[in-house]
Amino acid sequence: MTSHIEQSTDLRLTNSIRFAVVIGSGVMGAGIAAHLANAGIRSLMLDIVPRELTAKEEAKGLTLESPEVRNRIASENRQKLLKQNPAPLATADHLNFIEVGNLEDDLERLKEADWVIEVVVERLDVKQQLFEKIAPYIREDAILSSNTSGISIEAMASALPEGLKSRFLGTHFFNPPRYLKLLELIPTEKTARPVIDFMSRFAEDRLGKGVVEAKDTPNFIGNRIGTYGLLVTFEEMLKQNASIGEMDSITGPLIGRPKSATFRTLDVVGIDTFVHVAGNVYETLEAGAEKDTFDVPSEMKQLVEKGWIGQKAGQGFYKKEGKVIQELNLQTFEYEQLKAITGPELDQIKSLPGSKAKLKGAILNKGRVGQLLWPITAKTLAYSARLTGEIADTIVAIDDAMKWGFGWKFGPFEMWDALGVEKSVERMKAEGYDVPAWIDEMLAAGNTSFYKGDQYYDKASKTYVEKTVNPKELKLKPLAKSNGIILENGGARLVDIGDDVVALEFTSPNNAIGVDIMQMIEQSIDRVEQDFKGMVLANDGKNFCVGANLAMMLMEAEDENWFELDWIINKFQQVVQKIRYSSRPVVAAPYGMTLGGGTEISLPAARMQAALETYMGLVEVGVGLIPGGGGNVNMYRRLLEQTPKTMQNIEKAAQQTFENIAMAKVSKSAFDAKTLGYHRAVDGISMNRDHLTFDAKQTVLELADGYTAPVREKLPVVGQTGKATLELAAYEMFYGGYISEHDLKIAKKLAHVISGGDLAYGTLVDEQYFLDIEREAFLSLIGEPKSQQRMQHMLVKGKPLRN
C-alpha cells in the first residue's frame, strides 16, 4: 500500500483521454476502438505488418512496402466494424473516429496518446515483447493498459521501465465492449492509486462502464466464477443424466440469467474460447478439488477437436437445421430433438411473484428442478465466498462483476441473501460443501445477510460497510424513500430528486401508459409550475416505456366504447402538449425500448437526454394504428424545426415523418435517433445508463434559469398535393408486394394526417387541427377488425402480425 503513496507523489497524469492508441485490431481491439468512438474519443488502431501479399494486392501492383498493404490488418478489421451484429458502432459515422496504422511505421504516433491499450493475442511473451518495443514512445503522463483476459498483469509489468509501472494496469473489457457493462480494472503493486481512480471515473462517466477492481489472479473475477459456474453445471448435468436443453430450460430467466442460459451462451462465446479460458485457471492451480473442476470435461475437448465450437462454426451444443433447433446428445454426439423441463412444478415456480421469489422457488424446489439447481448454486456460492479476498476485496465487486459481465440479475451474494443465508449454509454444511470460516463467523456474530440496505458485509473488517456509489447514480426508488414522493397514483409518481427538481416515474406494469399516467403528468406539471425548477421524465425499469396500454385500448375497442376511446386519446394529446408548453423545462430521459407512446411523450419535452442504448420509434403501424398522442405533429415539427422552412424542406419533413412512422423505424442507438430526427442536435446523450437521471436533472438545472415555454405557432402543411406524393409511395410498396392491403389503408390515413388532409399546399394550420385529424384517423383504425387482430397478436405473442 505504501508503494502507491510513494509512487503518486511524482506521478504525472493526463487529465483527460482525448486520443487513444489501441494495439491489436482483432475482435476486442476493434470493438474497444468502436466503443471509444461512441464516446467521442478518437483512436489509432495498430496491428502487425503482413508478411505476404494477397492475390488482390499483387494484381494491383502493390508491394510489401505499400502503406495500403502494411496497414491492411488494422484497416480490414476497421472496415468489418460496419458489418458486425450487434453493431459495435452506435452509428456508421463513428468509423471516422478510428485511424489505422501498423506497429512498425507508426510508433512515433504513440506519443500523441493519452491512453495506450494493448489488445493483442493472449500470449505473455508476445505482450512482453510488445511492451518493450512501445515503452520508449509512451508519453510520461499517459496511461498504458492491457486487455488480457487472464494473464498476470504483474508478469507483463516486468517488461516495463520503472517509470511506467505506476501508470500501467489491466483494463479487462468484456465482449462485445459496447454492450457488456463490465470493466475489470486490475492494478499491480506499483500502479498508482490516482491512476486507478482516474481510469475508474473515466470508464464510468465517459465509456458508461460498470467498474470493479479485481486482484491480479487468474481470469480475475467474472471469468473465474463464470467458468466455474459453467463447469459445475456441466458436471451436474452428466451426473443427473439431464440434457443440454433441459439444463438451459432452468438456468436462464427462471433464475435471473439471460435467455441464452448456459449452453446457448457457450455456443455464442465459442466453446474453444471457453476451453482456453478455463485451461488458463487450471494451469495455475495446485492439485486439488478446484483444479479438478477446471479440468475441462472430455466432451468439451472433443467438441473443440471436431470443430463444433458453437455459433461461429454453425454447430456446438446446438445445431440449427433449417428453422429447427436441435440439441447435442453428449453420449452419441448426434443432434436430436430439443428437450426442456416442463410440468406443473415448473409452472408453479414461474407463477411466483417477482424474480427473487422465482429464484428461491427454483433453487430450493424439492423436485427435479431443485435437484439440478441446488448443487450448482451451492457450489458456486461457496466458491465465491472462498474467493472473496483473493480475487476481489469485497462481495460487491464479485456481485457486480457477475451482473455486469454475465447478465445475471443477482450476484452470488445477492442470491444467497434471497435463499436465506442461515438455512442454506446449514444445508450446505450438512451436505459437505466447503463453506469458508468467515461465513460462520459472520453468522455467529448475528449477521444473517450479506447486504443490509445500502450496506454490505465486509469480510476484512467483519462489519457492515456503506457501498461507495458514484454520485451520478440517481436511483428513483431510494430517492423516493429518502426525499419523498410528492404525488402518486396507481400508474406513476412524482419524486423529489433534490435541488428543486422532480422526476416523474412510471410504476405501471412494463411502464405502459394508461389514463393514470396521463393524469399524473398533468397534475405534476401543474405542481412543478408552482413549486419546482423543472421535471425529468425518468424511469428505472428495463425499458423506458414500450407504449400505451394496448390491452386497455383493445378492450375499449372490442366493446365499441368509442366515446371513451375518443376521451382517452384526446386526453393523451392534451397531456403531451402540456409537456411541450410547460412553463418549467421538462426533460425526457429515454433509454432502452422507448416505443410508441414512450416516444410521443419524449418528443415534446424541452430537451431529451437519452442513454446511448435507446431504441426509439413510433411503431404503432405494427399494431394496426398510427400515433394517437400527438406523435405525428410532434415528429413533423421536430423535423421542420431543424431546417429553414422552405417548401422543399417542408416536403422533406413530411416525407421523413411519413417514412419513420409508416416503416416503424426504430433507432439503433441515441446517435441513430439523431439521424432519424427523433433526437435533435441540442439533445444530450448519456453513455452510462445509470447516470441518465442525473444528467437529465443537470439539463433541467441548466435550462431552468430564464426558461420560457415555446410559443404556439402555426405549421405549414404539404396539403393535398403532398398527400398524393406520400400515397404514391405507399401504393408502390403495395404493388411491389412489400405491404399488405391493410398496411396500405393505414399508410393512407397516415398520409392524410401528416399532409394536413385536404388543404391547399402551404396552408398554415394550428396544432389542434393536426391533433383532431390524428384522433379521427386513430379512432377509425382502432375500429378495424384487422387492426384489432394485430393488437391481440402483439399482446399474446409479443410480436407484430402481418395481415
Chain residues that interact with ligand NAD, rule: CB under 6 A: 24-29, 47-48, 73, 103, 119-122, 126, 130, 147-149, 172-175
626 and 776 Cβ atoms separated by less than 8 Å: no
Nearest alpha-carbon partner for 178 in 471, 761, 613? 613
Residue 175 or 570: the one with the smaller Cβ distance to ligand NAD is 175
Within 15-123, where are the H helices? 27-38, 55-59, 67-70, 72-80
Helix, strand, or coil here: 411? coil
Least distance between ligand NAD and beta carbon 33 (Å): 11
Least distance between ligand NAD and beta carbon 492 (Å): 41
Distance CA 277, CA 297 (A): 14
Give the DSSP letter of residue 513. B
Which residue shows C-alpha cell 405473442? 797
Long-range contacts, stretch 366-371, CB < 8 angstroms, 24+ apart: 368/341, 369/250, 369/341, 369/345, 371/240
Residue 29 or 677: the one with the smaller Cβ distance to ligand NAD is 29
Residue 130 or 568: the one with the smaller Cβ distance to ligand NAD is 130
Least distance between ligand NAD and beta carbon 538 (Å): 33
Least distance between ligand NAD and beta carbon 268 (Å): 10
Residue 182 or 633: the one with the smaller Cβ distance to ligand NAD is 182
Least distance between ligand NAD and beta carbon 273 (Å): 6
Least distance between ligand NAD and beta carbon 37 (Å): 17
325, three cell numbers:
433447433
Determine if residue 662 is left, alpha or beta; phi over 0 gives left, psi from -120 to 50 gives alpha, anything else beta. Answer: alpha
Residue 223 or 599: the one with the smaller Cβ distance to ligand NAD is 223
Distance CA 241, CA 228 (A): 20
Residue 26 or 420: the one with the smaller Cβ distance to ligand NAD is 26
- For 347, half-sphere exposure in the C-beta direction (CA atoms, 13 angstrom radius) is 3
Torsion from C-alpha of 665, 668, 670, 672, nearest 10 degrees: -70
261, three cell numbers:
442460459
User: Which residues on adjacent β-strands are paired with residue 716?
Assistant: 764
- H or E stretch covering 567: helix 562-581
Residue 155 or 765: the one with the smaller Cβ distance to ligand NAD is 155
Least distance between ligand NAD and beta carbon 182 (Å): 10
Least distance between ligand NAD and beta carbon 103 (Å): 6
Handedness of CA 6, 12, 14, 15 (dihedral sign): positive
Distance CA 727, CA 605 (A): 30
218, three cell numbers:
487468474
Handedness of CA 203, 209, 212, 215 (dihedral sign): negative
Distance CA 168, CA 138 (A): 11
Least distance between ligand NAD and beta carbon 314 (Å): 19
Residue 310 or 624: the one with the smaller Cβ distance to ligand NAD is 310
Residue 119 or 480: the one with the smaller Cβ distance to ligand NAD is 119
- According to DSSP, the β-strands at 143-146 and 168-173 are parallel
Torsion from C-alpha of 34, 38, 43, 48, nearest 10 degrees: 0
Least distance between ligand NAD and beta carbon 51 (Å): 12
Least distance between ligand NAD and beta carbon 631 (Å): 40
Cβ-closest position to ligand NAD: 26
Residue 172 or 742: the one with the smaller Cβ distance to ligand NAD is 172
Residue 134 or 486: the one with the smaller Cβ distance to ligand NAD is 134
Nearest alpha-carbon partner for 373 in 386, 360, 385? 360
525 and 494 Cβ atoms separated by less than 8 Å: no
Helix, strand, or coil here: 230? helix
Provide φ and ψ at 661, rounded to 5°: -85, -45
Residue 170 or 684: the one with the smaller Cβ distance to ligand NAD is 170
Least distance between ligand NAD and beta carbon 295 (Å): 21
